[in-house]
Structure 1
């Protein structure tokens, strides 16, 4: 069992939530720090930010070493075998966290899911296979996993076409290559998503930058506006 999520609580009446998943070998609190540092939580005081921690599991790519991971990774090539069971398990875990927010009184369209790298991959998969149309998806330095299962795996596809998606990527990412991210862009656009944006950042590797975090903040403020 992974440890409890890091949380930035809403500082005014809680009317929206964001669940954001970290990347391989990381912990939720590092993204909690980033969202605080870039004042994203300050820009949206009505939003509760949740940063779950992945369970520690063995990772094939890293010679079977145990580390926090949402699923197993066999290789960085787009033809590498995918851990379908692990991806679907983490996707369900994220969807269960969304259900908890809905049960607590936050409507599905006021919940954004997102993540960095493999965390972003889980977030895109969860949003596309959720029975709800969510408030948006933040996909940073990531890709659409199990892409060959789409569009068939898409749940309530026609209703979902207005789901806002922001995909951000560095043009010098050595881990998740830009062309891989661009294939995700092609696939998502082909499925008919109308509010999909791809942003590319110059000289950015497998990390984030000031401009990207400003774009994340703007996306949050636009798609989870303060309500009376």
Structure 2
């Protein structure tokens, strides 16, 4: 994919995500009163939000960090961002070439019958859930946590949001797919089914 096409996809994804996340935060977060801004144990700390952005196959977290510049609405003033990078691993659809990859992709283009790396997806989901759990432990309410992803990161976003045991604020998937078969659907919690 040329750098211009990748940039245009990233730009479109960022603009769409900014709109969706701002609208969602606007519904959930009440602006803190002035005294609350100075006391970390009050409403301002509890209303902080967290956005986890997952890149696509072969990309990196730092390459996606400029996306946050599109999120300038007041709802994002207390938002914490994370742009992790996938580990390097061989990717079957790219003839075993080693590159940043959240999990293996067996074939492209994919079809409903394409083999899925469910074990790799579930391991990647565990890593995403660990990042989310750290933010929850730090005081961010799960309703204010959003996972976004492009392409392979979008597939991981879908799996991570659906398999998290609590209801998260939401997820935004750009050019992603369902990265598992029907056997994993049974693991989707009742809380996760409430995510919009």
TM-score, with structure 1 as normaliser: 0.61
Unaligned runs of 5+ in 2: 1-36, 38-43
Unaligned runs of 5+ in 1: 1-11, 165-228
Please show how residues 160-171 of structure 1 align to structure 2 within 5 Å. Answer: 160-164=192-196
CA distance in 1 between partners of 2:173 and 2:134 (Å): 22
Q: Is the aligned partner of 1:74 residue 2:106?
A: yes
CA distance in 2 between partners of 1:71 and 1:113 (Å): 17
Indicate the structure with greater helix content. Answer: 2
Q: Secondary structure at the match of 1:128?
A: helix
Partner residue in 2 for 1:59: 91
**Higher RCO (CA 8 Å, separation ≥ 6 residues):** 2
Indicate the structure with greater strand content. Answer: 1
CA distance in 2 between partners of 1:112 and 1:147 (Å): 24
Partner residue in 2 for 1:49: 81
Please show how residues 15-30 of structure 1 align to structure 2 within 5 Å. Answer: 15-30=48-63
Q: 1:92 aligns with which of 123, 126, 129?
A: 126
Larger Rg: 2
Alignment RMSD (CA, Å)? 1.5
CA distance in 2 between partners of 1:96 and 1:107 (Å): 15
TM-score, with structure 2 as normaliser: 0.71
Q: 1:92-124 CA deviation, whole Å, 9 max, x = no partner?
A: 100110000001110111101121111111111
| Runs of 4+ displaced beyond 4 Å | none
How many positions carry a matched residue from both structures? Answer: 148
